[in-house]
Amino acid sequence: MKTSAILAALLLLVCGYFYLQVDWEARAIRQQLKQVVDLVEKDGAVSTLEAMGRSRQLTAVLTSDAKIEYLTGRSFPKGADALGRAFLAAWSQVNTANVSILKHEVDISENYPEAKSRVTANCRVLLDGQEVLRDTVRYQIYWKKQEGDWLIREVVALGGL
């Protein structure tokens, strides 16, 4: 009986140690980026209703004044609503869009609740059956935590590899 209690306490201590080692904020940011990638990816035709739903979901992970530069020097209009409309217009013209995150480093700022992440992504876009873009691009993403959720404040394209 004593051995079982000691073993259970030891197991609890080891689990507690590993639980405290997890950076939960960085993990939440990685999960949020995964959700964005899932929303942006497209494999074939979709209904207008689904496209509008994805656009709304995408704007929900952006701050109201978000700015996104998708390629160096090329950005969408500023603001979550404008970005949602731009996404809807662009996404409806794309046949296929694939994004693979190759590397994602997260730094939680001392000015919490802000963070910065560096992302390397492999992107491929087909438009009218022809490959328009295939590149590996590095991004710097600035995050802000609002009402418990990490939202994208700005995305800056750092260039291709």
The residues, ordered by sequence, that sit 6+ positions from 44 with a Cβ below 8 Å of its Cβ are 95, 96
Distance, CA of 33 to CA of 6 (rounded, Å): 41
Identify the weakest region by mean pLDDT among 11-20, 107-116, 130-139. Answer: 11-20
The residues, ordered by sequence, that sit 6+ positions from 67 with a Cβ below 8 Å of its Cβ are 75, 76, 78, 153, 154, 155
Locus of tokens 């939440």: 28
Distance, CA of 158 to CA of 161 (rounded, Å): 9
Domain boundaries, the chain: 23-160
Residue 19's pLDDT band, with cuts at 50, 70 and 90, is: very low
* Reported pTM: 0.81
Residue 42 burial (CB count, 10 A): 20
Residue 108 has what pLDDT?
A: 93
**Span 19-43, average pLDDT:** 85
> Which CATH number does the domain 23-160 belong to among 3.10.450.50, 3.40.640.10, 3.40.1190.20, 3.90.1010.10?
3.10.450.50
Q: 33-86: per-residue pLDDT in tens?
A: 999 999 999 988 888 899 999 999 999 999 999 999 987 888 888 899 999 998
Cβ atoms of residues 67 and 155 within 8 Å: yes
